[in-house]
Amino acid sequence: MALWGGRFKQQPSELFKAFNDSLPVDYRLAEQDITGSISWSRALEKVGVLSSQEQQDLEAALSELLLKVQNDPECILSSDAEDIHSWVEQQLIAELGDLGKKLHTGRSRNDQVATDLKLWCKDKGNDLLQSLVNLQQALMDLAQREHATVLPGYTHLQRAQPVTFGHWCLAYVEMFDRDLSRMQDALYRADTSPLGSGALAGTAYPIDRHELAQDMGFRRPTMNSLDAVSDRDHVIELLSSASISMMHLSRFAEDLIFYNSGEAGFIELSDLVTSGSSLMPQKKNPDALELIRGKSGRVCGALSGMLMTMKALPLAYNKDMQEDKEGLFDALDTWETSLKMAVLVAEGVKVNSAATLSAAQQGYANATELADYLVNKDIPFREAHHIVGEVVLAAIAENKALEDFTLAELKVYSSKIEQDVYQHLTIESCLDKRQVLGGTSREQVEKAIQSMQEAAMPASPVTGSPAKEQISLALRQVQQRLNAQKAAVMSVRSARMTDVDNIVDIVNYWSEKGETLPRSKYDIIHDIQDFVVAEVDGQVVGCACLYIYQTGLAEIRSVGVMPDSQGHGQGKAMIQFLLEQARHIELQRVIVLTRAPQFFAKLGFANTPMDSLPEKVIKDCDICPKKNACDEVSMEYLVKMTGNPFSNTETIPTKQVN
């Protein structure tokens, strides 16, 4: 039975039903629809629409339905329901009778589908972030392996200057680094809950939408009901991120297809990612790379389609928006598969270093070095450029390399050329002269490595300087970024009752160390809505609490990250999350008592006299084992109602903070 049939005298035609129904596509939102429905049932109980027993019965039925869907997602497709929302409601009614009909009170399919889709995007987004990091790691491993392999660099597909194969790998690591950043930005903006916005004007029930959003794991609710139900920016942003990244993957594929060709012969691809010819037994085709290159158009097409769908829609919801999911699902699936395939390709690449070196030595890649040599002999660059052009012309005519000219032959073009010219024409010289940051100069690499080691390694008792490692600076820098990016898959969210035991473990660990105040399990359960947690790969590794004392004032406390998970910014992320909460509920002042004042200072806190704190805050010190020898610093953060309070902060490692 349709959810909307009361207004109509006739049943819709079968043709219209097939044209209108979206279940074959949106069945993928089943888990998100059930999750949102559980949270909605809790919200309805709190405003008196459902009794406690009714809510428990609904949540039990929904949880059972969730298990059914997780075990067999395609069981939904045998239904003739219009969409996933209708299917879930039908299942509840079949199980609970009239109680199943009460769940939709105050809710519209408009805010429901918008919420479901955002929840799905968050789940899929985390998988894609991990896939991006995996590809960067595979390229890092390849760069490490081939960091010294000489490769001809190209412009206009003409040999230009020599680089290293490792340097080529790191160029794509940089590209995928930007993709990862774009994805994180898009997911941050998508992390707002539309539920409670109704069809377009908001629900008539006094739902606490902040609490509802937190219960579903969103950082906050949306602010305008008209926009909330008709916003598909998150779909467009994710498709845009996917399209740009697929463009990068396509360039990566094109480079390797060329390197793998018989004309270049720079690499050999693994049998795992290639195929043969049905006619020509000698062929080994780079099909995986060609498919990546081809599928980029498919993903970009989904972005164009969504932009065209949205470009002229009036507020608020229109059925056109039903077209948002099919293209999104396909594009993100395609992107994820392409990333995984690129990892498989990178892991299996074999480089023919003799061929790459030979190619780098051809094509007069050292012509720029000869021009620079002449400039150092006080010849203006434009004149040097012209002289070298004449030398290259002669070299082409005689079919020999620049370094094969005798000194007498070179002096025909300029009397300034001396015997020392030959040391500038070697491949090693071409590489080592690139001394600018991001170049391939060995001198630049060693200086940067030394600088990094002085900050991170103990000094030698003899020389006062650290021991030097024989490793590329670029590899070290990108590895650091990769470590940070892996941590970036970490998320911060509001705590749930299922997190209580983890929070107790974290608080107990640091209170036993004397770094935080002890809190009983009862206290944590009572204050669970004040806590946030940091997760890495689904595991809770940190917690923090925003305890509200009175109107306008709150304290950050019980901050801790487990030791084996420290150093990746979880502490900062949790504090920022709490400060944003403080802004949204219009607090005026947030205080903290801490032994890590530098940490909080970088987040905008300033020292404040201990005696300026309210008596309720000081009273908590009675349970502190160090109250008679207090070494904590009192600090405060003045909450701004506008702007971004984190725009000028820097990422710092999470240490023991209270």
Decide: 421 and 371 in contact? Cβ < 8 Å: no
Quickly state the pLDDT bin for 445 (edges 50, 70, 90): very low
Cα–Cα nearest to 160, from 355, 361, 363: 363
The fold for domain 367-425 equals Ribonucleotide Reductase Protein R1; domain 1 (1.10.40)
Decide: 199 and 284 in contact? Cβ < 8 Å: no
Amino acid at 81: A
Which percentage of the chain shows pLDDT scores above 90?
50
The pLDDT value given to residue 439: 65
If you average pLDDT over residues 314-325, what whole number do you get?
A: 94
- Give Cα separations from 180 to 186, 217, 526 (angstroms): 10, 21, 38
The fold for domain 491-638 equals Aminopeptidase (3.40.630)
- Name 469's Cβ contacts closer than 8 Å, sequence gap at least 6: 449, 453
The Cα–Cα gap between 309 and 486 comes to 35
The pLDDT value given to residue 479: 55
Three-class SS of residue 544?
Answer: strand
Q: What is the CA radius of gyration of the chain?
A: 31
Residue 651's φ and ψ, nearest 5 degrees, are -75, 130
Quickly state the pLDDT bin for 59 (edges 50, 70, 90): very high
Quickly state the pLDDT bin for 206 (edges 50, 70, 90): very high
Residue 84 in tokens: 């996933």
Burial of 263 (0-12, 13-18, 19+ CB in 10 A): exposed
The pLDDT value given to residue 346: 96
CB < 8 Å & 24+ apart, contacts of 519-525:
519/558, 524/500, 525/497, 525/500
31 against 354, higher pLDDT: 31
If you average pLDDT over residues 380-402, what whole number do you get?
A: 87
Quickly state the pLDDT bin for 460 (edges 50, 70, 90): very low
The Cα–Cα gap between 656 and 73 comes to 44
536 against 185, higher pLDDT: 185
Q: Which CATH superfamily is domain 111-199+212-357 in?
A: Fumarase/aspartase (Central domain) (1.20.200.10)
Buried/exposed 9-19: b ≥16 CB within 10 Å, e otherwise: eeeeeeeeeee
Amino acid at 270: S
The Cα–Cα gap between 133 and 146 comes to 20
Cα–Cα nearest to 2, from 636, 11, 351: 11
Residue 571 is given by DSSP the state H
The Cα–Cα gap between 32 and 88 comes to 11
pLDDT tens-digit series, residues 74-128: 999 999 999 999 999 999 999 999 999 999 999 999 999 999 999 999 999 989 9
Highest mean pLDDT among 333-342, 360-369, 527-536, 572-581: 333-342
Biggest distance spanned by C-alpha atoms of the chain: 101
DSSP-assigned letters across all residues of 425-448: SSHHHHHHT--STTS--HHHHHHH
The Cα–Cα gap between 494 and 303 comes to 32
Give, rounded to a whole angstrom, the gap between the first and last alpha carbons of the chain: 56
- Give Cα separations from 4 to 82, 115, 298, 545 (angstroms): 11, 20, 36, 44
The Cα–Cα gap between 68 and 72 comes to 6
Residue 275 is given by DSSP the state B
Domain ranges in the chain with CATH number 1.10.40.30:
367-425
Q: Which residue matches tokens 């309720």? A: 616
Domain 5-107 sits in CATH at 1.10.275.10
Catalytic residues: 156, 277
The Cα–Cα gap between 30 and 636 comes to 44
**Residue 156 Ramachandran class (φ > 0 left, ψ -120 to 50 alpha, else beta):** left
Give strand pairing partners of 192. 220
The pLDDT value given to residue 451: 38
If you average pLDDT over residues 432-440, what whole number do you get?
A: 62
- Name 199's Cβ contacts closer than 8 Å, sequence gap at least 6: 108, 110, 111, 229, 316, 317
**Does this model's pTM top 0.85?**
no
DSSP-assigned letters across all residues of 466-504: PPPP-S-HHHHHHHHHHHHHHHHT-EEEE--GGGHHHHH
pLDDT at 216 over 90: yes
Please state whether the peptide bond connecting residue 316 to the residue before it is cis, i.e. omega within 30 degrees of 0: yes
pLDDT at 242 over 60: yes
Domain ranges in the chain with CATH number 1.20.200.10:
111-199+212-357
The pLDDT value given to residue 412: 87
- Tell me the HSE value of 523 on the side-chain side, using a 13 A CA sphere: 12
